[in-house]
Chains A and B, each alone.
Chain A
């Protein structure tokens, strides 16, 4: 096998990941696999594997990681990998950094835009319906207040 055929590490991608909040943590993973055993997404999918995701990050396998269909979107966000990791890599935080990178590169699934737009446009993720108003009255609860959308718009998105 010639040297040219060896897959090279994509350091450019790793630099991109380093530029996202908490993305730098991937550098400290030594592939012990402690994150895998109690990972519910791993136990239930057979394909989702936080160690492999970290390995792909270390190798810079952008195509596998950065897409709306990437395995990263099956993370349950349970934080067990953060508990188990002896290196304080916080695999979940690296996965969230990868998700942030997907969003920046236009590769996030629709649900991310749907929910984030809802927060930015209405201040909440759910909808205030006529049933909401009626039920809040029924339970003697204070009416739903203004959700300060103008303020949200001013404080997000700046670098």
Chain B
């Protein structure tokens, strides 16, 4: 099946190895990614939405309209892009007045939003279109001894009746994704806690990050597994910065879901970019068969 990938700003510029992992692993499980020209920032659901919601709807609608013209669904690989593009798409599909308002603006550049495609996070597509059984069949190196502390992040799941992905209080999608790689998903007390990135006061988000990392350690997970490059930023680089500030060594490596799948499909540490992470992953992989 064909999909138009929307990798977003953070992954494209800062964490390109995540993009590489998505491209390589989705090809193996039978998803065909069709790249198109002209995407911009989704735009950012926190700061840009806070700037002007109608501008936010309009730029997002332009991105969706580009994909509509080609005729395949968009897959997102960042929770922020998912928040913006899914919410805007589903809102505009229902709110005709808003759709007209947005289309009046898009007309200036000769474009139109029609509401003919869907926007879904890549893990949702993997679950619903491919199936985790099929994913498991592509695993050549099951990560049997790896315990992955699950971090869902907020925007894949909520608002649930907009996203329609999973139960926001008892989600299973990421657990099942991790299980398909042979690894063991570990739920912990802070599995569903926000990474805190959007908070203006640093101490609030720092305390959330510390609690999440401690919760993962307390439940004896080897690493943390997630689906969003912004959460990743908060927990990988953020963990180092916090560790220096608090004079503590958390040592919780962080892995993006498609990197995990890449390892399970036999790719090397370097191929999926795990060597690029600030919190090193090497020791954990000693437990994984070569």
Contact count A vs B, C-beta below 8 Å = 174
- Is B43 interfacial (CB-CB < 8 Å)? yes
- Is B116 interfacial (CB-CB < 8 Å)? no
**Contact partner, A155, options B9, B19, B59, Cβ 8 Å:** B59
Q: Are B35 and A142 in contact (CB under 8 A)?
A: yes
Interface string of B261-274 (1 = CB under 8 A from A): 00000000000010
Once bound together, how far apart are the Cα atoms of A62 and B53, in whole Å? 20
Residues of A within 8 A of B9 (CB): 124-126
Q: Are B160 and A77 in contact (CB under 8 A)?
A: no
Residues of A within 8 A of B185 (CB): none
Once bound together, how far apart are the Cα atoms of A48 and B273, in whole Å? 38
- Is B48 interfacial (CB-CB < 8 Å)? yes
**Contact partner, B16, options A22, A127, A136, A155, Cβ 8 Å:** A136
Of B127-135, B143-151, B172-180, B199-207, the segment with at least 4 beta carbons within 8 Å of chain A is B199-207
Residues of B within 8 A of A77 (CB): 45-46, 154, 198
Once bound together, how far apart are the Cα atoms of A123 and B41, in whole Å? 6
Given contacts A77-B45, A152-B40, contact A139 B51 (CB under 8 A): no
Of B103-111, B215-223, B235-243, B280-288, the segment with at least 4 beta carbons within 8 Å of chain A is B103-111
Range of interface residues on B (Cβ < 8 Å): 35 or more
Once bound together, how far apart are the Cα atoms of A21 and B49, in whole Å? 11
- Is A151 interfacial (CB-CB < 8 Å)? yes
Q: Which of B9-59 contact A (CB under 8 A)?
A: 9-10, 12-14, 16-17, 19-20, 23, 35, 37-41, 43-55, 57-59
Residues of B within 8 A of A102 (CB): 50
**Contact partner, A45, options B40, B50, B108, B204, Cβ 8 Å:** B204
By a beta-carbon cutoff of 8 Å, the part of chain A in contact with chain B is 20-22, 40-41, 44-45, 48, 73-80, 82-83, 90, 96-97, 99-100, 102-103, 108-109, 111-116, 119, 123-129, 132, 135-136, 139-142, 144-149, 151-152, 154-158
